């Protein structure tokens, strides 16, 4: 039986206030969330699950509300913890770190998690969803690295190079037959 997972990477978010968990969306991020609603409103989505991070919830919130569906929050879809205390890292700090982590999947900063640990937790959560929501269409509000690691578990072409080419937001529809990935299609074209 086919199950469709719509990976929705969060929209643009400022790195100037709060911490990783509380960051909101920029004006462009909010506008893009509306476009996501228009793109996915007729897809027949059954279930919405999100990272607990505010920017991920906000990116899919309008769509869920328009369909009269609540968003279930799953801690296992949170962003990779790069450093302790959910501290915000600038892109200048983050990109070299992510490259190092992809080249050494067991590397982590103090208080952070490794690629290996992040992939294990997020893929375990995804497999539970594939089992619990078999035959349904599920939106997962998530983050670039976590999305890439989940997709990369099923198909190795989704790697660091893929991550660096994704946008904020981004949408990928993954078609599964049981736990087997059959097809991936990018839906975000803006």
pLDDT tens sequence across 65-76: 999 999 999 999
pTM of the model: 0.94
- Structural domain includes residue 107: yes
Measured distance CA(23)–CA(21) in Å, rounded: 6
Which residues of the chain are under the pLDDT cut of 50? none
Measured distance CA(80)–CA(137) in Å, rounded: 25
Give kind and range of the element (H or E) at residue 176: strand 170-177
- Structural domain includes residue 123: yes
Contact status, residue 112 vs residue 82, Cβ threshold 8 Å: yes
Name the domain count of the chain. Answer: 1
- Structural domain includes residue 3: no
pLDDT for position 17: 66
pLDDT for position 173: 98
Contact status, residue 152 vs residue 175, Cβ threshold 8 Å: no
Q: What dihedral angle (degrees, nearest 10) is formed by the CA atoms of 80, 129, 54, 155?
A: 40
- Structural domain includes residue 45: yes
pLDDT for position 10: 97
Domain with 162, as residue range(s), is: 11-186
Contact status, residue 173 vs residue 6, Cβ threshold 8 Å: yes
Concatenated DSSP letters for 27-44? Answer: HHHHHHHHHHHHHHTTS-
H helices of the chain, in order, are 27-40, 54-66, 91-103, 115-132, 144-154, 160-165
- Structural domain includes residue 6: no
Q: Are strands 137-142 and 47-50 parallel, antiparallel or unpaired?
A: parallel
pLDDT for position 15: 79
- Structural domain includes residue 4: no
- Structural domain includes residue 154: yes
**Cis bond before residue 169 (omega within 30° of 0):** yes
Measured distance CA(148)–CA(189) in Å, rounded: 18
Among 96, 95, 118, smallest CA distance to 106 is for 118
- Structural domain includes residue 5: no
Q: Residue 74 is part of a domain; what is its CATH number?
A: 3.40.50.1240
């Amino acid at each position: 039986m086919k199950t469709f997972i719509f990976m929705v990477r969060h929209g643009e978010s400022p790195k100037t206030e709060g911490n990783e968990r509380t960051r909101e969306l920029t004006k462009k991020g909010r506008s893009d969330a509306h476009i996501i609603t228009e793109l996915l409103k007729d897809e027949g989505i059954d279930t919405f699950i999100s990272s607990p991070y505010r920017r991920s919830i906000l990116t899919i919130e309008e769509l869920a509300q328009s369909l009269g569906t609540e968003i279930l929050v799953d801690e296992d879809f949170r962003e990779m913890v790069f450093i302790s205390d959910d501290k915000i890292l600038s892109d200048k700090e983050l990109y070299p770190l992510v490259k190092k982590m992809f080249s050494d999947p067991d590397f982590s900063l103090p208080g952070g998690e490794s690629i290996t640990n992040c992939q294990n937790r997020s893929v375990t959560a995804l497999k539970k969803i594939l089992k619990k929501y078999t035959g349904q269409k599920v939106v997962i509000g998530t983050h670039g690295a976590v999305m890439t690691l989940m997709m990369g578990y099923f198909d190795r072409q989704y790697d660091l190079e893929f991550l660096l080419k994704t946008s904020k937001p981004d949408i990928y529809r993954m078609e599964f037959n049981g736990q087997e990935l059959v097809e991936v299609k990018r839906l975000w074209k803006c």
